[in-house]
């Protein structure tokens, strides 16, 4: 094994090119270490994002050898099997510069999917008892660990093919709120996730499941949304309480 | 589904027709595997199906289910993989449905009536 | 800048199979109706066509169609099980089983067709 590694890094915006660097190998080196080395020792004009560097914030998400990952949690040994690395910004998002992408659309879609809490009580009311083994609570628990890193969004083919598609993270968030008994916004939420870019556009390819660093299954949440939307629609014909 | 969006309606119809097709296809595959044993001929097909009401009913249901299921699927592909506008994809879907219904019933009813010539 | 390493997993290939088989079957349906419709005009016309198709290449194509139909069916069942019952990691096994069943059906057809 040589003591350096060849790294191809994306430079520019949507239009741009890969630039090659040679970086010394270190034990337990992560891809974030490599990018940081380049910026500090070779080319200070390289732009990239990171924050915690210990795998809890999701800021350092990039495309590494074709796959979206957290660079701080990606060991070079595991991915650069032939001594080469290719690093580019997350797919499906506008590129600000080099390895930093614009997360605006990602978060806009969270809003469009009604992935926000609608409170129903005031401080003067009694609060809802939600027991840990309540089935809805369990469903919500499966999805609430999402930190909005964008890896699933970058991995999703439907996001690539359908500009309106809300995406796995936004729909996963919507599902957690559908299961939140304290929330009062379900009518708007069901409408929001059943439009042109809604839950029905998911084909269960599970690119999101495959790549989510928190091991969440947005596909599972989206299937739940499909059931909830269908139930709501069928109630419309057959009547019943709402 | 008065208040449901188009996407929801299409999804429900797609799954409903898929459930019907699941049964129809299994029966069809079994029938075909039996039918091709010892070779296939027009005379054989006609003698088996003409005047057979059960066959007519089964394949009529099959044709309707396919006419619902296939165009919805094709529409999704057009929507995701071509530059067609959404409204245009609905038009293509409707045309496909009519084509399958007309060709399908012409064939099914025609074969039911054949052989009496 | 579009590397493709992120698509190399079971469910993506299952999706491709489902979409491709669906599209090919949708294109085949009108052809199927047209050919069967030949029998309505005259039995001899269909027989003429059928003898033309009595070649190994056509038999192979027919077998492929049967495999595609069975694959689309098993894939669809797996998809609906996921959507209605929320089956999880075990569904990678379902992908394998579904593909296996489709191939078995195709083989059965191939062994029976003459």
Q: How many Å apart are CA C85 and CA C81, to the nearest integer?
A: 5
Reply yes or no on domain A104-238 having CATH 1.10.1060.10: yes
DSSP string computed for B43-105: HHHHHHHTT-HHHHHHHHHHHHHHHHHHHHHHHHHHHHHS---HHHHHHHHHHHHHHHHHHHH
Q: Which of A149, A148, A167, A147 is nearest to A157 (CA)?
A: A167
Chain A positions contacting chain C at CB under 8 Å are 10, 16, 18, 63, 65-68, 86, 88, 91, 155, 157, 203-207, 209-211, 217, 219-220, 223-224, 226-227
Percent of chain A predicted with pLDDT > 90:
89
Q: Which segments within A25-160 are labelled E, that is strand?
A: 61-64, 67-70, 84-88, 95-97, 100-101
pLDDT in tens, A111-148: 999 999 999 998 899 988 899 999 999 999 999 999 99
pTM: 0.91
Locate the domains of chain B by residue range.
Answer: 6-113
Q: Give the sign of the dihedral formed by CA C92, CA C94, CA C97, CA C98.
A: negative
Tell me which residue in C1, C3, C83 faces A223 most closely, judged by beta carbons.
C83
Q: Is the per-residue pLDDT at A56 higher than 70?
A: yes
Q: How many Å apart are CA A47 and CA A184, to the nearest integer?
A: 42
What is the DSSP code (8-state) at residue A161?
H
What is the distance in angstroms between the Cα of A10 and the nearest Cα belonging to chain C?
A: 8
CA atoms within 13 A on the CB side of B29: 24
* A70: exposed, middle or buried (Cβ count in 10 Å: 0-12, 13-18, 19+): buried
Q: Which helix (H) or strand (E) holds A17?
A: strand A16-24
Q: What is the pLDDT of residue C3?
A: 42
Instruction: Kindly report the CATH class assigned to B6-113.
Output: mainly alpha
SS3 A138: helix
What number is the ipTM of this complex? 0.89
The mean predicted confidence, pLDDT, of chain A is: 93
pLDDT in tens, A176-233: 999 999 999 999 999 999 988 999 999 999 999 999 999 999 999 999 999 999 999 8
Q: Is the per-residue pLDDT at B102 higher than 60?
A: yes
Contact check, Cβ <8 Å, A162/B79: yes
Q: What is the pLDDT of residue B117?
A: 42
Q: In the predicted model, what is the mean pLDDT of residues C64-84?
A: 91
Q: Is the per-residue pLDDT at C6 higher than 90?
A: no
Q: Is the per-residue pLDDT at B2 higher than 60?
A: no
Tell me which residue in B33, B43, B103 faces C112 most closely, judged by beta carbons.
B33
Per mean pLDDT, which range of A112-121, C71-80, C90-99 is the poorest?
C90-99
The mean predicted confidence, pLDDT, of chain B is: 89
The residue among B4 and A104 whose pLDDT is bigger is: A104
As a CATH number, domain A4-101 is 3.10.20.30
Confidence label for C33 from pLDDT (cuts 50, 70 and 90): very high
Rg of the Cα atoms in chain C: 18
Q: What is the pLDDT of residue B90?
A: 95
Contact check, Cβ <8 Å, C76/B45: no
Cβ of residue A223 closer than 8 Å to a chain B Cβ: no
CA distance from start to end of chain C = 50
Q: What is the pLDDT of residue C52?
A: 80
Q: Is the per-residue pLDDT at A239 higher than 90?
A: no
The residue among C110 and B67 whose pLDDT is bigger is: B67
Contact B30, C109 (CB under 8 A): no
Locate the domains of chain A by residue range.
Answer: 4-101, 104-238
Six token digits for residue A2: 């040589």
Confidence label for A83 from pLDDT (cuts 50, 70 and 90): confident
Confidence label for A48 from pLDDT (cuts 50, 70 and 90): very high
Q: How many Å apart are CA A61 and CA A79, to the nearest integer?
A: 15
Q: Which domains does chain C carry? A: 13-112 (1.20.1300.10)
CA atoms within 13 A on the CB side of A129: 2
Closest residue in B to C107 (Cα) is B33
Closest residue in B to C44 (Cα) is B42
Q: How many Å apart are CA A77 and CA A93, to the nearest integer?
A: 28
Percent of chain B predicted with pLDDT > 70:
94
Q: In the predicted model, what is the mean pLDDT of residues B101-112?
A: 92
* A25: exposed, middle or buried (Cβ count in 10 Å: 0-12, 13-18, 19+): middle
For an interface test with B, give the residue of A191, A194, A203 to mutate (most B CBs within 10 A).
A194
pLDDT in tens, A102-115: 999 999 999 999 99
With contacts defined as CB-CB under 8 Å, which chain B residues touch A191?
5
Chain C positions contacting chain A at CB under 8 Å are 1-7, 9, 11-12, 14-15, 18-19, 79, 82-84, 86, 88
Tell me which residue in B1, B2, B7 faces A200 most closely, judged by beta carbons.
B7
Per mean pLDDT, which range of A9-18, A42-51, C5-14 is the poorest?
C5-14
């Amino acid at each position: 094994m040589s003591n350096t590694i060849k790294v191809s890094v994306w430079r520019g915006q949507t239009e741009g090119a890969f630039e090659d660097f040679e970086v010394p190998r270190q034990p337990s080196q992560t891809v974030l270490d490599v990018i940081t080395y380049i910026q500090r020792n070779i080319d200070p004009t390289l732009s990239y994002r990171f924050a915690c560097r210990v795998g809890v914030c999701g800021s350092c998400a990039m495309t590494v050898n074709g796959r979206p990952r957290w660079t701080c949690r990606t060991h070079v040994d595991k991915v650069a099997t032939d001594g080469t690395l290719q690093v580019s910004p997350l797919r499906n998002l506008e590129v600000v510069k080099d390895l930093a992408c614009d997360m605006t659309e990602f978060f806009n879609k969270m809003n469009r999917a009604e992935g926000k809490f609608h409170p129903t009580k005031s401080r003067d009311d009694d609060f809802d008892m939600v027991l840990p083994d309540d089935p809805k609570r369990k469903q919500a628990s499966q999805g609430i660990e999402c930190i909005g890193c964008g890896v699933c969004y970058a991995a999703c083919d439907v996001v690539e093919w359908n500009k309106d598609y809300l995406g796995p993270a936004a729909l996963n968030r919507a599902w957690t709120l559908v299961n939140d008994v304290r929330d009062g916004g379900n009518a708007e939420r069901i409408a929001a996730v059943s439009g042109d870019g809604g839950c029905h556009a998911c084909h269960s390819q599970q690119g999101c499941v495959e790549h989510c660093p928190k091991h969440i299954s947005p596909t599972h949440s989206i299937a739940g949304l499909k059931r909830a939307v269908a139930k709501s629609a069928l109630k419309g014909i057959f009547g019943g309480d709402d | 589904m008065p208040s449901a969006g188009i996407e929801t309606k299409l999804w429900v119809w797609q799954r409903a027709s898929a459930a019907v097709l699941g049964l129809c296809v299994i029966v069809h595959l079994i029938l075909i595997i039996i039918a091709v044993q010892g070779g296939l001929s027009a005379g054989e097909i006609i003698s088996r199906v003409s005047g057979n009401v059960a066959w007519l009913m089964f394949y009529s249901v099959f044709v309707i289910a396919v006419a619902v299921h296939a165009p919805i699927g094709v529409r999704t592909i057009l929507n995701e993989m071509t530059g067609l506008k959404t409204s245009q994809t609905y038009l293509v879907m409707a045309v496909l449905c009519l084509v399958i219904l007309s060709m399908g019933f012409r064939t099914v009813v025609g074969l039911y009536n054949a052989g009496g010539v | 800048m579009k590397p493709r390493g992120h698509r190399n997993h079971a469910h993506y290939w299952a999706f491709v199979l489902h979409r491709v088989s669906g599209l090919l079957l949708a294109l085949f349906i009108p052809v199927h109706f047209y050919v069967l419709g030949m029998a309505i005009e005259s039995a001899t016309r269909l027989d003429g066509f059928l003898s033309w198709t009595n070649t190994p290449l056509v038999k192979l194509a027919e077998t492929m169609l049967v495999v595609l139909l069975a694959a689309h069916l098993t894939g669809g069942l797996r998809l609906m099980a996921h959507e209605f019952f929320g089956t999880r990691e075990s569904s990678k096994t379902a992908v394998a089983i579904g593909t296996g069943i489709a191939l078995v059906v195709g083989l059965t057809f191939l062994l029976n067709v003459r």
